[in-house]
Structure 1
Amino acid sequence: MRILVTGTAGFIGSALAERLLARGDEVYGIDNHNDYYDPTLKEARLARFAEHPNYTHLRADLADADAVNRAFGEFRPQRVVNLAAQAGVRYSLKNPQAYVQSNLVGFVNILEACRHGKVEHLVYASSSSVYGANRKMPFAIEDAVDHPVSLYAASKKANELMAHTYSHLYDLPTTGLRFFTVYGPWGRPDMSPMLFADRISRGKPIDVFNYGNHSRDFTYIDDIVEGVIRTLDHIALPDAAYDALQPSPGTSSAPYRVYNIGNDQPVQLLRFIELMEQNLGRTVEKRLLPMQPGDVPDTWADVSALRRDVGYSPNTPIEDGVARFVAWYREYFQRGE
């Protein structure tokens, strides 16, 4: 298939592009290579497949509608995976405008291009952050998500609403995936696994927020990519059982779906740090601090809908995932024991 993927210099996007190319798809990647974190890492991810004969790369911003439309016009994708976004909960408190441009303006440009390009299926990144102040565990797609606690979360909820509008008005099949704490090789430097690895490897204290009482549904990158591909291959259809008198947030009478994509095995943050220390061969001081604004205490994905519909089955234990991540970290940053 011809598949357009946005964010191909990013963590998930680069891993997805590699897998799609390996199975024989033609991939057109778009990424703006911004400096939210070290662009050198983005270039290194891209270098793994940039010379593949079935890969084409465009350095452009999704907020540039002309560039997006040109890419769609030239490549004529059959399916699209939109992973490009301004990420990060904490950064959204400092630079809200970046989230409006990337996550709202950029996303409507993708929706318009999919609509006019007669795309068969749009899969896009949402986030576990949409659950916001919810405390019922595990988080389920049937739960209302009307209480976001960061602009990042609000922008991802907005993406789901925007996608539904296009599914309803233009019969565009769309599927949103709420990612839960993705980790693994080539991960983002602003996320806790990389931050912890850096501090531990240098023997520096770690800041542990909410006094260590966080738990996260850490999900290994290979499991995420498998779920994205299975979803991409399973075009969203109208739900024949949808009841407008008792509407479910995860389905619709339009060709629209929303799924959680996580490990369904929450891990205490202190346990995750312990595994990092074991694999890096040293222990460090933990500075226990209050919870930060915009953060949530716990995440846990109910992935029953994704299991039912596409056979999604995450199978990477946290012990194995952390070991693989640390092995990559040491090799990439040349940090031995």
Structure 2
Amino acid sequence: MKFVDRAKICVKAGNGGNGCVAFRREKFVPFGGPSGGNGGKGGDVILIADPSVRTLLDFKHKRHFKAENGQHGSGNNKHGKNGKDLIIKVPVGTVVKDAQTGEVLADLISPGQEVVVARGGKGGRGNAAFKTSTNQSPDYAEEGEKGEEKWVELELKLIADFGIVGFPNAGKSTLISVLTKAKPKVADYPFTTLSPVLGVMHVDYGESIVLADIPGLIEGASKGQGLGHQFLRHIERTKALIHLIDISDFRERDPIEAFEIINREMEKYSPELVKKPQIVVGNKIDILSDRSEIEKLKKYFESKGYKFVPVSLVTLEGIDKLKKEIVNLFKSLKEGEKENEKV
């Protein structure tokens, strides 16, 4: 399935039905009073977060959505039927913005959460509603109001517990396939992953931890270089990060330099990103000739307050320890959330 995380659509709510001008025409009532009913309300356009929808791809093919109009009122004080609301399903994690003003209309982060993006017009009143003691036979009625119409922007931000970040070719796709049952495309060239991949890591006590492989970032990503901030936005939703670095003999850059570059790019995009807890994972120790370097890296990262776990995604050395660190951090974060809820 192609991953699409941005779309722009036009939504049009239903118009209200017109009120009716009518008079009673009954036998033996030659001068019957007004009996025109009110028009029905136009339908609303409602966006609802649905877990079964994974991308915004459908909105690339259909961009115009219109709710049903309200029906007109009729004689005998019959009110017009209200127009049906139009329900549009979007992925959980969709941010809805007014395309003209940029105002955030909703942040749909929970299944079933919904927002009315265009309100239907009110139905016009029929002439029966205008009858007064001084005006017994009004011969006029109201037109229904027009429904709201606007362009809205949809932006999908993945919701995951951990985001896996690092330079292209650090091994992120392989890592998520090892930790979960996700099957991303894996190859030995940059930007193998062109869309975020979600995987679920099941742990012994029945909990599930959602991991997201965030496509490769490079220096200048915050300015749009490489895959740019096209995917930096997905990191915002995560509780913590798994920062993967290549520590093999054949690495393209110094591991510490690589770590700092990615952190700087995240900070330029949003200072909040680098405040997230990070587990630093040194990959490819199976092709590292001098293992004394592992201890040097461990001392450096732990002095900065980060856990450092050396692994090989080929031999799976260190993977059990990495899983434990992920679970421990996950538990700690959940306990922190519970404490905050009590405050």
TM-score (norm: length of structure 1): 0.32
Larger radius of gyration: 2
TM-score (norm: length of structure 2): 0.31
Where is the strand percentage greater, Structure 1 or Structure 2? 2
